[in-house]
Amino acid sequence: MSTATGPSARGTFLGMPAVPPRSPYGTGHLRGERTFPRAAHDELGNEQLRRNLGKATHSIRAKRLDVTGELPDWEALRDAGSAIKTDTMNRLPELLEELERKVTEHGGTVHWARDGIEANEIVTRLVRRTGSDEVLKVKSMATQEIGLNEHLESQGITALETDLAELIVQLADDRPSHILVPAIHRNRDEIREIFLRQIPGVDPALAATPAELAAAARAYLREKFMTAKVAVSGANFGIAETGTLSVVESEGNGRMCLTLPETLITVMGIEKVLPRFQDLEVFLQLLPRSSTGERMNPYTSLWTGVTPGDGPQDFHLVLLDNGRTAALADTIGREALNCIRCSACLNVCPVYERTGGHAYGSTYPGPIGAVLTPQLAGMHAAKDDPNSSLPYASSLCGACFDACPVKIDIPSLLVELRHQHTEQSGTTAEKLAMKAAATVMKQPKLFTAAQRAAGLGRVVAGRSGTFSHLPPPFRGWSDSRDTPAPPKQSFRSWFASADGAAAMRAAAQDGARHTDDDSQEAQ
């Protein structure tokens, strides 16, 4: 029954008491091969990558601040976005059923996919039915997440990405490194070279300007738009009230795919549903401003089922769970499902800025990725699961929380995930050390003794008064930082000493004298 459709046999686990399943291990792109620190280490060595990223994120950041700053009701909009999303998550089962009803009423077909494996099978079956062995893709995070392109390829079906940045990544046989700007890690010259190498018949005099590069891609894609029979898209929003789906983009290539082919298959994560059509008013303001720093994105496509004689005549909506119900079942995890994938948190994140998206090993990089990925796919599916390193890939600086248009408290969610991780991972050396530290620190006598012992470190530190090399696990720290040796006297012993008492008395007298001066001056 895994690919059954219709309300009676749906494959999601909404409302069921059993622990809902996560995205299955070994499928899709929700898990890298290395832990974050290891992957980051390699990326940090790539100067070009850091320059490309630094430049791109700084310019989007500045644009975002400009266009959000000019709205007097920006904070109210964020509150509204957050409230609508919270309400949505609280009634997700009922809203999804409403969406299914409306889509069906308007001539579409709804499929429920428990996970990526099911979703891939459904899409493959639908594509086969059209007799085509080629599909056009509209940029979609959900299909990235489940590895649809790779699956289709294994089934002899070619998937062609039509979003300019996705196309660059696909042609370069690379992986996206950003939610919104998948090729953010590439600069123009690199893109020009990729095109020259991969697109047949490209003018060798192609200039490395955005306009010329976009034109070259468009020329390449044009013929495909006219001939393709089937397209696969994601969805930014699915409106329960009307059964309307929406894709928001800036190049118009998506719209070509959404209107020209005979068959349209949309794969949508179940959290993308919105209750009312009117809710778009809020999100169509929040999303473009947060993601590209534009007041409005150039193309917003909305479609409702099938319109006879116009656009695709066969429309399918695949509702994807893939770990979302598991996140929803977690009181803390459910907040992460509010995410509208605007990527504002990536663009302001100092960690993302240095490491780039590949270090996160997932379709969802950056701060929200560090939260979402472990929730969708779990942190313990494999020994030394790389996903368990993601909640620690943050300095908890809070810039993401400030930037998020739906006010997701990412730092707190990261701290919670860290807690879940330590609770699940049993006794470790770190846990023992944390316990020991707490034991010492809860007893002031022991703490004072430890301070005294630490003071002896001065002898080891030698005349410079600093340590320049520390043993593991602090070796990475001491590679680029000196550490001061504790001074002879702690604050508490100074405060309790005659010196301390004298200094405090002198300060009080000094203050009193000044106060007297002041009052005399005032007279």
Partner 1 sequence: MRIALFATCLGDTLFPEAVKSTAVLLARLGHDVVFPPQQTCCGQMHVNTGYQREPVPLVSNFAEQFGDPSIEAVVMPSGSCAGSVRHQHELVAARYGDAALRAGVAAVKTKTYELSEFLVDVLDVTDVGAYFPHRVTYHPTCHSLRMLRVGEKPLRLLRAVEAIDLVELPEADACCGFGGTFAVKNAGTSSAMLRDKMDHIAGTGAEVCTAGDSSCLMHIGGGLSRIKSGTRTLHLAQILAATRTAPHVLTEAAR
Enumerate residues 292-351 that contact partner 1 by CB under 8 A.
350-351
The DSSP line for 462-481 is -TT-EES---TTSHHHHTT-
> Which of 7, 431, 469, 502 is the binder for partner 1 (CB under 8 A)?
431
- Tokens 């974050």 correspond to 36
For residue 512, the partner it binds in ligand SF4, partner 1, none, with Cβ less than 5 to 8 A by kind, is partner 1
Cα 457 off chain centre by: 43
Which of ligand SF4, partner 1, none has residue 434 at its interface (CB below 5 to 8 Å by kind)?
partner 1
Member of 480, 519, 520, 523 binding partner 1 (CB under 8 A): 480
Applying CB under 8 A, among 91, 219, 487, 497 the residue interacting with partner 1 is: 487
Nearer to ligand SF4 by C-beta: 138 or 370? 370
Q: CB under 5 to 8 A by kind: which of partner 1, ligand SF4, none does 484 bind?
A: partner 1
**Where does 230-330 have alpha helices with state H?**
253-259, 280-291, 324-329
Binds 345, which of ligand SF4, partner 1, none (CB < 5 to 8 A, cut-off by type)?
A: ligand SF4
Q: What is the dihedral of CA 376, 402, 75, 292, to 10 degrees?
A: -70
Instruction: Work out how close the CB of 500 gets to partner 1 at its nearest, in angstroms, rounded to a whole number.
Output: 8
Strands (E), 45-139: 109-113, 134-137
List binders of partner 1 among 184-223 (CB under 8 A). Answer: none
Tell me how far, at minimum, the Cβ of 384 lies from partner 1, in Å: 14
Nearer to ligand SF4, 225 or 401 (CB): 401
Distant-in-sequence, close-in-space partners of 460: CB < 8 Å, separation ≥ 6: 467, 485
Our finding on whether 397 is near partner 1 (CB under 8 A) is yes
Closest distance to ligand SF4 from the beta carbon of 273 (Å)? 15
Beta bridge partners of 5: 111
Distances (CA, A) of 398 to 332, 355, 418: 17, 18, 16
Distance CA 159, CA 165 (A): 15
Under rule CB under 8 A, which residues in 441-470 are in contact with partner 1?
441-442, 444, 447, 451, 454, 466, 468
The residue written with tokens 């890939």 in the block is 393
Residue 463 interacts, among partner 1, ligand SF4, none and using kind-specific CB cut-offs from 5 to 8 Å, with none
- Please tell me the distance from the alpha carbon of residue 70 to that of residue 67, in angstroms, as a whole number: 5
Q: What are phi and psi of 306, to 5 degrees?
A: -120, 135
Figure out which of the listed residues 2, 474, 497, 502 binds partner 1, where binding follows CB under 8 A.
474
Among 395, 469, 502, 516, the residue binding partner 1 under the rule CB under 8 A is 395
User: Smaller CB distance to partner 1: residue 355 or 363?
Assistant: 355
Residue 311, contacted partner among ligand SF4, partner 1, none, CB below 5-8 A by kind: none
Complex with partner 1: residue 58 or 91, whichever CB lies closer: 58
Work out what residue 90 binds among ligand SF4, partner 1, none; the CB cut-off runs from 5 to 8 Å by kind.
none
Measured CA to CA, the distance from residue 129 to residue 389 in angstroms comes to 42
User: Which of 5, 21, 44, 259 lies at the binding interface for partner 1 (CB under 8 A)?
Assistant: 44
What is the residue type of 171? L
Question: Least distance (Å) from partner 1 to the CB of residue 90?
Answer: 21
- The number of residues that bind partner 1 (CB under 8 A) is 74
Task: Please identify, using beta-carbon distances, which residue of 117 and 339 lies nearer to ligand SF4.
Answer: 339
Interface residues with ligand SF4 (CB under 6 A) are 290, 339-345, 368, 403-406, 408
Buried/exposed 272-304: b ≥16 CB within 10 Å, e otherwise: bbbbeeebbebbbbbbbbbbbbeeebebbbebb
DSSP bridge partners of 110 = 317
DSSP string covering 36-56:
HHHHHHHHHT-HHHHHHHHHH
Nearer to ligand SF4, 110 or 247 (CB): 247
**In the window 69-128, what residues touch partner 1 (CB under 8 A)?**
none
Contact status, residue 145 vs residue 116, Cβ threshold 8 Å: yes
